[in-house]
Structure 1
């Protein structure tokens, strides 16, 4: 347990280091899914490791000490007591961060959906009269696409098709759920912050590729993205997925080259990396249970 319990933290750093490489070389749809899955599993294993470290403080509880003395046992110290105390504090911080992230996601989605409340429930496209050029995919049942009149006015007919195809891809493939999962993983394990950044970028790249397929022209899609980005200016990211969010220059460059391949071997390696923290946490759990069983039984 002395080593295994720390493996999720160490592997978090490794996952963070390789995520940009995966994002560049693997098809966006596949890369977004495997990075999100690996981040969620790693974050879960990290929290469980903190729980294990906190549980080691039980060996100092008076009833446990008395029971051990009655059985003539010497209590082993799995980790220093200071580490257990730090783990307890870290768990409190994690609970606060996750709760705050959940509230922020809920509040943002509710605010976006309020903009669509006056429209019929089966309306997919909502056009808001606004001088601010924006376009969002708003997840929910049903999902909505919110576009301002300024954004529509800045784009030509083909460019509007690109924009709508992009936002429809966000809704169809539940990109908001992937970004939310990555966001919660980062709330539980801040070391995974760069992975969340890559996932948010990849879902935009994924939607770009689907839009290019829908209009049948990658160059036209790149031009539409560039025009929308110039019109919108700097956009503050939110859980409503926006057409002009996330590294527009990189996305335009990617559309001017061939789509990246589905490197299943790389995807499998990332998933295997995500599974290693679970194995380490499971081994540490077994060691701790064995120790507590000898003391308490």
Structure 2
């Protein structure tokens, strides 16, 4: 446990710089899924490692430990007490950050759903009369696409098809779930912030590629994205999946090249990093249980 319990932290340090590299070399759909899975595994492992490190604070508090020491059993602290105190404080911060992220996510979802109140359940497209050009994919049951009249007016008919195909891709592939998962992972482990940024960018790239495939024209897709970005308003819900959000210039440049390939051999090591963090956290748990069992028997 003395070493295994710290491995998830090391994995976090490795995963963050790897995220943008994978995003550039692997198809957005594969990269987004792999990075999200790795981030969730790593965040869970680091959180559990903090729980294990707080065992240094057991001391004489639990009755079973007091009885063991009274009987002459030696119960060695698995980690220095100062590390246990730091881990306990860090764990409290993690709980607070995750709760705040959950509240923010729920608040955004409620705000977006209220914009569609009164619409029939089978209505996918909701057009709002507004002078601010915006478009959002609103996850849920049913998922909806909210587009303002100003955005529709700013685009040509072919470009409108691109916009709708893009937002529909967000709903079809449930990008909201990926973004939510990686957002909570980054809340639990701030070192995974770059991974969250990479995934939120990749889901937009993924939707761009789906839109280009749906309309059969990458040039029109890039033009629609550029025109919408130039006319879009700046204010938007922070957790929404918006057509004109997330590094528009990079997305336009990507649409002017061939789509990146599905390179599983390149993506697999990233997923392996997340699995490695979980395995070492499990091994640290086994070591702790063995230590306590030996001391109390």
TM-score normalized with structure 2 length: 0.97
Separation in structure 2 between the aligned mates of residue 69 and residue 29 of structure 1, nearest angstrom: 55
Separation in structure 1 between the aligned mates of residue 55 and residue 283 of structure 2, nearest angstrom: 15
Separation in structure 2 between the aligned mates of residue 68 and residue 294 of structure 1, nearest angstrom: 11
Separation in structure 2 between the aligned mates of residue 56 and residue 283 of structure 1, nearest angstrom: 17
**Partner of residue 86, structure 1:** 86
Separation in structure 2 between the aligned mates of residue 17 and residue 296 of structure 1, nearest angstrom: 44
Separation in structure 2 between the aligned mates of residue 296 and residue 177 of structure 1, nearest angstrom: 44
**Partner of residue 198, structure 1:** 198
Of residues 56-65 and 10-19 in structure 1, the stretch that sits farther from structure 2 once superposed is 56-65
Separation in structure 1 between the aligned mates of residue 66 and residue 145 of structure 2, nearest angstrom: 64
Separation in structure 2 between the aligned mates of residue 204 and residue 62 of structure 1, nearest angstrom: 51
Contact 1:38-1:270 at 8 Å conserved across structures: yes
1:1-297 correspondence to structure 2 within 5 Å: 1-61=1-61, 63-234=63-234, 236=236, 238-297=238-297
In structure 1, list runs of 5 or more residues that go unmatched: none
Separation in structure 1 between the aligned mates of residue 78 and residue 55 of structure 2, nearest angstrom: 10
Contact 2:56-2:83 at 8 Å conserved across structures: no
**Secondary structure of 1:126's aligned partner:** strand
Separation in structure 2 between the aligned mates of residue 151 and residue 160 of structure 1, nearest angstrom: 9
Contact 1:235-1:245 at 8 Å conserved across structures: no
Structure 1 residue 64: Cα displacement = 4.4
Separation in structure 1 between the aligned mates of residue 104 and residue 62 of structure 2, nearest angstrom: 42
Contact 1:58-1:64 at 8 Å conserved across structures: no
Deviations 1:173-207 (A, max 9, x none): 00000000000001110100000000000000000
**Secondary structure of 1:147's aligned partner:** strand
Of residues 231-240 and 275-284 in structure 1, the stretch that sits farther from structure 2 once superposed is 231-240
Separation in structure 1 between the aligned mates of residue 123 and residue 202 of structure 2, nearest angstrom: 28
Separation in structure 2 between the aligned mates of residue 69 and residue 138 of structure 1, nearest angstrom: 58
Contact 2:75-2:292 at 8 Å conserved across structures: no
In structure 2, list runs of 5 or more residues that go unmatched: none
Structure 1 residue 296: Cα displacement = 2.6
Of residues 190-199 and 286-295 in structure 1, the stretch that sits farther from structure 2 once superposed is 286-295
Contact 1:237-1:245 at 8 Å conserved across structures: no
Which 4+ residue blocks in structure 1 deviate beyond 6 angstroms? none
Contact 1:127-1:149 at 8 Å conserved across structures: yes
Separation in structure 1 between the aligned mates of residue 237 and residue 257 of structure 2, nearest angstrom: 26
TM-score normalized with structure 1 length: 0.97
Separation in structure 1 between the aligned mates of residue 21 and residue 104 of structure 2, nearest angstrom: 30
Structure 1 residue 86: Cα displacement = 1.4
Structure 1 residue 68: Cα displacement = 2.9
Contact 2:108-2:237 at 8 Å conserved across structures: no
**Secondary structure of 1:60's aligned partner:** coil
> Structure 1 residues 73 and 25, CA, compared in 2 at 3 Å: closer, same or farther?
same
Structure 1 residue 238: Cα displacement = 2.4
Of residues 101-110 and 59-68 in structure 1, the stretch that sits farther from structure 2 once superposed is 59-68
> Structure 1 residues 269 and 235, CA, compared in 2 at 3 Å: closer, same or farther?
farther
Separation in structure 1 between the aligned mates of residue 77 and residue 44 of structure 2, nearest angstrom: 25
Contact 1:112-1:138 at 8 Å conserved across structures: yes
